[in-house]
């Protein structure tokens, strides 16, 4: 029988970076984020609920991490509810970005050359801020795909999403990030 215990090292290798970045975006503290990854994996290996019952290890581990995040916020006396980590409404409209006739509400501007941003500390602070402002599901998919390099296929499998779900989430994440960077960095 494959037990959770013998899998923990593989999980650390495979999902450690993702879990870390997910936690780091929310707690904004490297050491705390590392501790949360550790707590998550420890909870996973001692859980009676084996991953064999799950179709996606990533979703399962992320679920455990979300609970750890909430515990950690409580310990710090911060008001925090699961709703902040789970989308309340999947059908959020795009009317923040587009008028009913499909035209832009705010016309996008061209951004500077990316290389010019790489060396700016300020840029990375803002980029991180913009990422933490994404809706939970958008942030999860964007992180996995664009920052950790997962293929669309793996994103579908790991997050239990259809290809359409994925491109809708990516479109929204990109609109939101573009808008956020324009507001806080370009302008």
Catalog residues that contact other proteins under the rule CB under 8 A: 5-6, 8-9, 12, 16-17, 20-21, 24, 30, 34, 37-38, 41-42, 45-46, 94, 97-98, 101-104, 107-111, 114, 117-118, 123-124, 127-128, 142-143, 145-149, 152, 163, 166-167, 170-171, 174-175, 177-178, 181
CB of 104 to other proteins, least distance (A): 5
Task: Report the DSSP beta bridge partners of residue 104.
Answer: 98
Whose Cβ is closer to other proteins: residue 9's or residue 82's?
Answer: 9
Q: How far is the CB of 40 from other proteins (least distance, A)?
A: 10
The residue (of 81 and 136) whose beta carbon lies closer to other proteins is: 136
Closest CB to other proteins among residues 54, 148: 148
Non-local CB neighbours of 171 within 8 Å, separated by 6+ positions: none
Q: Check: CB of residue 123 under 8 Å from CB of residue 185.
A: yes
Give the chain's radius of gyration (CA, Å). 18
Using an 8 Å Cβ cutoff, are 5 and 45 in contact?
yes
Q: What is the DSSP string of 75-117?
A: HTT----GGGTS-S-TT--STTTB-TTS-BSSPPPPPPPHHHH
Q: Which is nearer to other proteins, 82 or 106 (by Cβ)?
A: 106
């Amino acid at each position: 029988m494959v037990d959770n215990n013998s899998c923990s090292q593989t999980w650390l290798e495979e999902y450690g970076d993702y879990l870390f970045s997910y936690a780091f975006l929310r707690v904004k503290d490297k050491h705390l984020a590392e501790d949360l990854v550790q707590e998550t994996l420890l909870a996973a290996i001692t859980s009676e609920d084996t991953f064999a019952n799950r179709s996606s290890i990533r979703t399962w581990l992320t679920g455990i991490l979300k609970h750890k995040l909430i515990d950690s916020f409580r310990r710090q006396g911060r008001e925090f509810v699961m709703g902040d980590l789970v989308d309340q409404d999947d059908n959020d409209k795009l009317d923040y970005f587009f008028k009913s006739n499909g035209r832009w509400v705010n016309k996008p501007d061209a951004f500077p050359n990316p290389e010019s941003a790489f060396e700016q500390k300020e840029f990375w602070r803002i980029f991180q801020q913009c990422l933490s402002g994404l809706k939970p599901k958008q942030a999860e998919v964007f992180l996995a795909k664009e920052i950790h390099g997962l293929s669309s296929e793996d994103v579908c499998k790991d997050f239990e999403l259809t290809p359409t779900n994925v491109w809708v989430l990516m479109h929204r994440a990109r609109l939101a990030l573009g808008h956020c960077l324009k507001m806080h960095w370009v302008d």
